[in-house]
Amino acid sequence: MYDTEKVAKPMIPFIVYGVLKGYIKRPTLFMVGTLFSYPKFMKKFKHRYPLDFLKTAAFMAHLYKRLQCKLDKNIAYEVTRATFLTSAAAVMQANFRFVEAERNFDNLVKYQQKTQAEGMTKNNKMVITELTDKKYCFKVTKCMFFEFFSEIEMSELTTIMCSVDNLIFNTYLPNRIVFKREVGATIADGASHCKFDIILK
């Protein structure tokens, strides 16, 4: 059996490269340039944001910025979305132990709370509003992604991270566990908090 306490570490640069290869010319050169210049970009923020957070958020912003130099801004955004949703799927499935542990409602709650407490979003503020054997609701009142992306004038990237919620919760147990969120119910949309309703059918 796999050790559920040991989180898998997907090779994100290879995943990113694999997606970019489908959309840009000379992806190897582009990827090398991105990885080489990224530490300098990240350095500007390392005293104000946790390093594990910056490894995702700052890299995402830096990649987006570089893509805008090669592609139309809207296309650059969509390529960034494709890249990070694919990468996030691998990371979040590791965090939620898709391979290592039985997938059931109790484990979903357990690993969501563990990820919140120990992962890159640990500096967000989360409040559980309802927890039963079939319903898990919580809200996030402070989103570090929104704060960081707003600071660097790339707030549109926040919605990509919001999409990760749909990705992970709706694929955990398809057709048995449903994640739903009303339109406009995120900080990125101007709401006071992000609302999460996870329901076991």
* CATH numeric code, 12-200: 3.30.1380
The pLDDT of residue 2 is above 70: no
Bridge pairing between strands 125-131 and 135-142: antiparallel
Domain boundaries, the chain: 12-200
Structure confidence by residue, pLDDT tens digits, 180-190:
888 888 999 99
Per residue in 61-83, pLDDT (tens digit) is 999 999 999 999 999 999 999 99
Burial 41-64 (b: 16+ CB within 10 A, else e): bbeebeeebeeebbebbbbbbbbb
How far is 2 from 6, CA to CA, in rounded Å? 8
pLDDT at residue 25 is higher than 60 = yes
- Is the pTM above the cut of 0.85? yes
Please give the pLDDT value at position 48: 87
Q: How is residue 49 annotated by DSSP?
A: S
Exposure string (b/e) for 93-111, b if CB count within 10 Å is 16 or more? bbbbbbebeebebebbbeb
Smallest CA-to-CA distance from 127 within 196, 189, 186 is with 196
Question: 3-state SS of the chain: helix, strand, coil percent to 5?
Answer: 55, 15, 30
Q: Which residue has the tokens 């707003």?
A: 150
